Structure formats: structure tokens, C-alpha cells
């Protein structure tokens, strides 16, 4: 069955108790062809919240794609309350090229809300926000680490917002990070539209990690239960083999020397002030610099790329505690 070509995702116009496959018009390519964004709407029999789930805003961040597929397989439109608007691949050009950025080289998650009359990426961002996101009640944006880095399973949310905090907690992440949102991200632009939004970081780029995907799907189902979209009896009783660590702020630690980088701590582990966290050697194997944790914290993400130029990232350090008003590391 061919997807229905639409200019806007209008849930009310789609059949109840059914799953609809859509191709959302956005921008044109150099051959004059439309770039269609694949979208899936599962509209329930009963009215209720409209939950949006997006993935692959960055073209090489793929764990969210199977998470959406496996979540939708669990849903019964006959018993669903409300609707799920799922976009398994937002950045179609980047996905085709196995690259983070859009076709014009822009990072989509730095240019929302975009604008008409702008660059290719800006126009795409503007139209996607208006045509796919504006009508939502809730948005969960699925990401992974970028090339050369790995992430724990963690959630970024404004923990001062009660609804966002409740959704984030129900995902049972390894780490729950207070993050207000950064200008230019899809999450921030959606919140400006009044859409309650959180970001889920699911491990590593350009791969599918079945275990993390499975836990993400369980978390998404718990969020849907919290929103009143599915019955609590539809949930599994499994709990992850970790206790969620809450961080009130976070920041990246960077190198100040170039060379071959090795980062020592494992993901989602605690480090203490003064612990050695990384070492840089020159190409002859001589140690140039050791790096140490500046304070106690937990490893949210880290670099895995040994080719380190001055100013490269070492690790993303989360500081445990309540939400703090402090500079935040940018969304993925």
C-alpha cells in the first residue's frame, strides 16, 4: 500500500481505530523532486492526547527508528485513546548518506524553528515544525550520540516542568538530566509552541542496540499509560538493571592538547574529583597529558574517537542533584 501524500499531518482527518502511512511534503531536491518525510499515525477509537515521537533528526542516529517500529507493533488502535504521530526518519537526506547533517550541511537540531525564505535546512525545519509538530500535545524526540562518541540511555528534560518530569521518570533511564532546552533544537521549538517535550538519548550512532531499544520501548509504553492512552495492564513488570541517577546540570570536558586520546571511565559510572579520566599520547607513544575529573560526577557520554585535535571532547560529566540554573550542554 502506497503512503498517502499529505501537506500537513491532520490527525482528525484520518480514520479512527486505524494505522495510516503518510508521506509528508517538505522541500524539493536538485532534481525538482519533493523530499517526503515518512510518517505513521495510529489513531485510536477514543479521543485523547496526541503524542508525537520523532527519530533520526540526525541522519546517523538510528536507535530511535526500530524503537518506533517496535512500539507501534504493540499498539491496538481499537483500544488506544488518542493518537500517536510517529516520524521514524526526520532527516531523510542525512539518513541516505549516513551523515548527521541535512543536505545543505546544516545541523537540523541547531536551526529550529527555521524560516521560510532561508536556507534549504531552515525551510525544511520551518515546514516540519508547522506541518508535523504544531498539532501535538506531547513530543518525545529520540536521539543517540554523534559519530566518535557513545552515550548512556539518558533523558533530557526540564525537570521543573511537572509533566515533563513525570514522563522522563517513567522512561526509567540510566541518567535523568535537567536541561531546559537549547535554542535551535526541535525540543525547544516544540516547547515554544506549547508542546510538552523531552529528549531521549539511546546509546550510540549508526547502529541498532537491541537492549537499549527494548528498554526505550518499555519506557514509551509507560509514558503512554501515564498520559491515559493505554491501560496499565498493557505494561510489562520488568524493571531495568540500574537505578536512575538524577543530574541537576552537566558539561563537557575538552582536551587542550592534540594527540591519541584514550578515555577510561565506563558509561553511567561515577567518578570522583581527581580521578584520572583520560590520557593523550603523541604519535610516538609518549604521554603528553593526563586529564582528571574536576569534581564528583557521573559519565553521561564520552568520546571513542582516538584521533584527538586540541579542543576535542573527552566526556560529558553529569553533576548529581536537583535542577540547577546553570549553563547546559547542548542537545544532541
Q: What is the largest CA-CA distance in the chain?
A: 67
Percentage above 90 pLDDT, the chain: 94
Neighbour count for residue 287 (Cβ, 10 Å):
10
CA dist 228 → 51, 82, 298 (Å): 11, 9, 33
CATH number of 249-320: 2.40.50.100
Give the pLDDT confidence score for residue 236 in this predicted structure.
79
What is the mean pLDDT of the segment spanning 76-102?
98
What is the mean pLDDT of the segment spanning 287-305?
99
pLDDT confidence bin for 330, thresholds 50/70/90: low
Q: Round to whole Å and give the CA distance between 312 and 320.
A: 24
- The answer to whether 85 touches 52, Cβ cutoff 8 Å, is yes
Q: Which long-range contacts (CB under 8 A, 24 or more apart) does 257-262 make?
A: 257/288, 257/289, 257/310, 258/308, 258/309, 258/310, 258/312, 259/283, 259/288, 259/289, 259/308, 260/306, 260/307, 260/308, 261/303, 261/305, 261/306, 261/307, 261/308, 261/312, 261/314, 262/306
Total residue count of the chain as it appears in this document = 332
Predicted confidence (pLDDT) at residue 203 exceeds the cutoff of 60: yes
What is the mean pLDDT of the segment spanning 297-313?
98
What is the mean pLDDT of the segment spanning 165-186?
95
Q: Domain locations in the chain?
A: 4-234, 249-320
Q: Round to whole Å and give the CA distance between 300 and 330.
A: 13
- The answer to whether 293 touches 275, Cβ cutoff 8 Å, is yes
pLDDT, tens digit, for every residue of 101-135? 999 999 999 999 999 999 999 999 999 999 999 99
Closest by CA to 302, choosing from 145, 197, 98, is: 145
pLDDT, tens digit, for every residue of 235-267? 877 889 999 999 999 999 999 999 999 999 999
Q: Per DSSP, what are the bridge partners of residue 19?
A: 42
Predicted confidence (pLDDT) at residue 319 exceeds the cutoff of 60: yes
Whose cell is 500537513? That residue is 8
Give the pLDDT confidence score for residue 42 in this predicted structure.
99
Q: What is the chain's mean pLDDT, rounded?
A: 96
pLDDT, tens digit, for every residue of 209-239? 999 999 999 999 999 999 999 999 878 778 8
CATH number of 4-234: 3.40.630.10
pLDDT confidence bin for 331, thresholds 50/70/90: low
Give the pLDDT confidence score for residue 235 in this predicted structure.
87
Whose cell is 550541511? That residue is 105
* Domain pair 4-234 / 249-320, same fold: no
What is the mean pLDDT of the segment spanning 85-99?
98
* Residue 240 C-alpha from the chain's centroid: 20
Among the residue ranges 17-21, 65-69, 322-326, the one predicted with the least confidence is 322-326
Amino acid at each position: 500500500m502506497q503512503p498517502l501524500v499529505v501537506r500537513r499531518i491532520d490527525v482528525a482527518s484520518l480514520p479512527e481505530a486505524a494505522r495510516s502511512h503518510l508521506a509528508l511534503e517538505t522541500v524539493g531536491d536538485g532534481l525538482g523532486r519533493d523530499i517526503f518525510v515518512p510518517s505513521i499515525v495510529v489513531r485510536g477509537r477514543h479521543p485523547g492526547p496526541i503524542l508525537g515521537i520523532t527519530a533520526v533528526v540526525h541522519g546517523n542516529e538510528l536507535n530511535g527508528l526500530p524503537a518506533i517500529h517496535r512500539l507501534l507493533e504493540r499498539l491496538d488502535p481499537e483500544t488506544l485513546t488518542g493518537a500517536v504521530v510517529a516520524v521514524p526518519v526526520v532527516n531523510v537526506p542525512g539518513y541516505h548518506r549516513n551523515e548527521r547533517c541535512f543536505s545543505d550541511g546544516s545541523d537540523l537540531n541547531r536551526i529550529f524553528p527555521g524560516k521560510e525564505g532561508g536556507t534549504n535546512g531552515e525551510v525544511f525545519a520551518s515546514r516540519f515544525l508547522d506541518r508535523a509538530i504544531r498539532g501535538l500535545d506531547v513530543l518525545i524526540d529520540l536521539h543517540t550520540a554523534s559519530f566518535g562518541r557513545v552515550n548512556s540511555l539518558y533523558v533530557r528534560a526540564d525537570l521543573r516542568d511537572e509533566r515533563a518530569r513525570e514522563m522522563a521518570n517513567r522512561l526509567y533511564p540510566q541518567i535523568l538530566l535537567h536541561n531546559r532546552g537549547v535554542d535551535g533544537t526541535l525540543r525547544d521549538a516544540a516547547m515554544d509552541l506549547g508542546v510538552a517535550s523531552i529528549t531521549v538519548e539511546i546509546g550510540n550512532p549508526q547502529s541498532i542496540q537491541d537492549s537499549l531499544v527494548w528498554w526505550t520501548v518499555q519506557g514509551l509504553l509507560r509514558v503512554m499509560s501515564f498520559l491515559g492512552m493505554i491501560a496499565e495492564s498493557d505494561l510489562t513488570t520488568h524493571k531495568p538493571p540500574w537505578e536512575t541517577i538524577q543530574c541537576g546540570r552537566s558539561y563537557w570536558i575538552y582536551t587542550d592538547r592534540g594527540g591519541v586520546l584514550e578515555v577510561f571511565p565506563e558509561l553511567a559510572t561515577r567518578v570522583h574529583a581527581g580521578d584520572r579520566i583520560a590520557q593523550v599520547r603523541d604519535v610516538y607513544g609518549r604521554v603528553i597529558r593526563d586529564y582528571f575529573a574536576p569534581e564528583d560526577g557521573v559519565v553521561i557520554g564520552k568520546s571513542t574517537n582516538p584521533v584527538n585535535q586540541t579542543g576535542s571532547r573527552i566526556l560529558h560529566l553529569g553533576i548529581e542533584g536537583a535542577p540547577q540554573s546553570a549553563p547546559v550542554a547542548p542537545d544532541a
